[in-house]
Amino acid sequence: MSSLPRWLARPLFYLLLGVYAWLLVLPLLSLLSASFRTEADLFTPGLLPPQPTLEAYREALAKHPILRYLLNSLGVSLAITLGVLLTSATLGYALARVRFAGQSLLFGFVVGLLLIPDEVTFLPRYLLVQELGWINSYWALIVPFLASPLGIFLMRQFLKSLPQDLFDAARIDGAGHLRTLWYVALPLAAPALGALGALSFLGAWNMYLWPLVVINQNEMKTAQIAIAQVQSVEVSSWNVVAAAAVLVLLPTLLAFLLAQRAFIRGIALGGLKG
């Protein structure tokens, strides 16, 4: 079977990519359209609302503490992201640039943790949090996720790929490991840190099952639980549910748009080298 000529293959390729992108974006556009519709126009065909209105957003914010849920998720997600960046950078640097006994064994242990499903550690993690008396506290939402095996692996791979001459020069200038980490490794690892930060923020923001289990107080619930709560109350008002979903979705979209260049570059450099 002969291949397509180049002048036809390239437009066809981009056409297929465009169709695929449209299929991915279509549910999001439908959700956005539903949030600007009245309840009477909810099932009117077409993506454009017949009579655009912000009533669904006003109703969602008036009847449900959406802003409180968003602030809870924002605080938890930022704390987890900063913790993951700190632990991943320090441990990744140690595994990549500090020689010590058992280094290979420790790195193998980190890689092994990547193979363990989260469901396996869910019950032991809950029992530990319960024993510490952290149920219905921000500690339960933040502390168990301050270290990430994926983050340690990503940072180790990235720092391992950097030229050794840079670290030798820092050592000749009298810099210790902390100064080398701060002034040499971290500036060069900015793409990997951006990718890891985006992954950590999105993962923390989208947590549902764990906050549902450890948090019972209404004022401490996170944004993902808010969607389920709004859906259970607004049984027929799907425009209000769509408005709440859009409000919860906006921070993650903004986080990805702001960090997408670092995210893509960091994944490429950190995953393919080392």
User: SS3 for 226?
Assistant: helix
- Dihedral angle of Cα 25, 28, 30, 31, to the nearest 10 degrees: 180
The answer to whether residue 125 is domain-embedded is yes
Q: Residue 180: is its pLDDT beyond 60?
A: yes
pLDDT of residue 1: 42
CATH number of 169's domain: 1.10.3720.10
* Closest by CA position to 143, among listed 155, 156, 118, 126: 126
Report the amino acid identity of residue 92: G
The answer to the question of residue 7 being in a domain is no
Is residue 45 one of the residues assigned to a domain? no
| Averaged pLDDT for residues 22-39 | 89
Residue 158 lies in a domain: yes
DSSP-derived secondary structure letter, 47: S
Distance CA 62, CA 123 (A): 37
pTM here is 0.85
Q: Residue 171 sits in which domain range? A: 57-272
User: Is residue 10 in a domain?
Assistant: no
Note whether residue 46 is domain-resident. no
Q: What is the pLDDT of residues 154-172, one digit of tens each?
A: 899 889 888 888 898 888 8
Q: Is residue 67 part of a domain?
A: yes
- Tell me the two tokens of residue 227: 């969607």
- Residue 265 in domain: yes
- The phi, psi pair for 112, rounded to 5°, reads -65, -35
pLDDT at residue 258 tops 80: no
When divided into structural domains, the chain yields a total of 1
